[in-house]
Amino acid sequence: MDVATDAGRHGRSVADLADLADLTDLKERAAHELATVRRRSLDLLDPLDERALTRQHSQLMSPLVWDLAHVGNYEDLWLVRAAGGEPGVAPSLDAMYDAFRHVRADRPRLPLLNPVEAHRYIGDVRSRALEVIEAIEFDPAVPLLAEGFVVGLVVQHEHQHDETMLATLQLMDGDGYRPLAPTPPTPPAPPAAPRLDRPAEVLVPAGDFEMGTDDDGWAYDNERPRHTVDLPAFWIDRWPVTNAAFQGFIADGGYRRRDLWSPAGWAFRVQSRLAAPKFWRPDGASWLRNRFGWVEEVPPDEPVQHVCWYEADAFARWAGKRLPTEQEWEKAARWSPERGGARAFPWGNGVPSEDVVNLGGRFFRPAPVGAFPDGAAPCGAEQLMGDVWEWTASDFAPYPGFASFPYPEYSEVFFGPAYKVLRGGSWATHPSAVRTTFRNWDYPIRRQIFAGFRCARDA
């Protein structure tokens, strides 16, 4: 069961998005995006046998075959029924693949479609969805159809599940460090570690900026509306925190020093016996990690990943800093004082390319810090997109004037102090499913996600 047999094919993701620059017709773009995400989903799962697809590898995750059928059910609900006004392919499956009706730990006990049935189902849905796209008009007066929003909803949803499935693959027998393949994952190597001769922090000047968006047709409700935020000046790390830096925290007793942890964080650390990032284990004076079932030395210059919010918060205190708020993160990522406006991406308005960002599973891991100087934001901070999701200090909350659309279960039901915001996407995130306004969120205890962080401090 080689989870990375087809890893090289995932490297087409960034190029696929660049190809869209030439697709001005919404229907052509819709077909292209749908084909791209389905190819990615199947490339991930096709190397696995039936047992790997149907087992629950962790109670944190669904059986992979549930995810596969769920993305088809979501497409049926929104593209076939909501957009096309058709009765749907298999409404009887709605309850079983409703993520709010059945928590992940309970899903293995459901009468799930087997892999053959799931493949047939998502194929039938896709055929119907393409017929709908051919027949409908993307009417700008209809919010669900304007700028192809419903297509973006379905495409991004499947890409997000692809990243979730990658997290599941990482968890497969991971605690036992038993390789799932005779050789390690073999995508192209990331750029070599550069000489880091630039300052480790950058200053973001005081002033207001426009946060969020009203312009991106595929943006979610929680990214809207655009609103003005005034921030004092602050310093933010140029790069995400590296494995080497985090090893310094461990060596200095970071996991044993209660003074570095919030009360809730310390309780979680003790209960879970945290002593290092997830998938790490000591090997004498060095550290090893499990990466998709293969054990390797922890690369010192990569951004640390698989740390929870509490670990990031404790490290920041140890470093004499703090986590940035999501307002600070977004201003650092996209605001250009010289232009007096926001960039679509940290590097500018051009779509992601392979020389500025690590997205789409190209390397199956983060790239070394400093690998993408041409992807720097106006403030000088680098790798704000891709590589690792970045924990922020902020709770997930609505923006002023927030309106739920197209359903409250996407964002609204998660608002509150239980969830912390992550920004920027990871190496596993597809380029079409992340942007500088995109807001991810999760419980502060989550470690299986591809998350790291960078620090900030008051100026």
Question: Taking 60 as the threshold, does the pLDDT of residue 11 lie above it?
Answer: no
Alpha-helical segments (H) within 172-262: 243-251
Annotated domain spans of the chain: 7-172, 187-459
Alpha-carbon distance 167 to 170, whole Å?
Answer: 5
Tokens of 248: 């310094």
Mean pLDDT for the stretch of residues 7-21: 43
Percent of the chain with pLDDT over 70: 91
| pTM attached to this predicted model | 0.93
CATH number of 187-459: 3.90.1580.10
CB atoms within 10 A of CB 120: 13
* pLDDT bracket for residue 182 (50, 70, 90): low
* pLDDT bracket for residue 20 (50, 70, 90): very low
Alpha-carbon distance 334 to 104, whole Å?
Answer: 35
Alpha-carbon distance 167 to 428, whole Å?
Answer: 9
**Strand pairing partners for 282?**
287
Alpha-carbon distance 123 to 108, whole Å?
Answer: 23
Question: Taking 90 as the threshold, does the pLDDT of residue 347 lie above it?
Answer: yes
Question: How high does pLDDT run on average in the chain?
Answer: 91
Q: Give residue-wise pLDDT tens across range 199-217.
A: 999 999 999 999 999 988 8
Choose between 338 and 359: higher pLDDT: 359
Q: Give residue-wise pLDDT tens across range 96-107.
A: 999 999 999 999
Residue 195 CB-density burial (10 A; 0-12 exposed, 13-18 middle, 19+ buried):
exposed
**Strand pairing partners for 342?**
335
Q: Say yes or no: domain 7-172 is CATH 3.40.50.300.
A: no
CA distances from 73 to 39, 95, 98, 200, 406 (A): 17, 10, 9, 46, 16
Mean pLDDT for the stretch of residues 169-192: 66
Say what the alpha-carbon torsion angle 14, 439, 277, 310 is, to the nearest 10 degrees. Answer: 170
Q: What pLDDT was estimated at residue 15?
A: 46
Question: Could you write out the DSSP letters of every residue in 371-427?
Answer: S-GGG--TTS----SSSSEEEEEEEE-PPTT----S-TTTTGGG-EEEEEEEES--T
> What are the counts of helices (DSSP H) followed by strands (DSSP E) for the chain?
11, 14
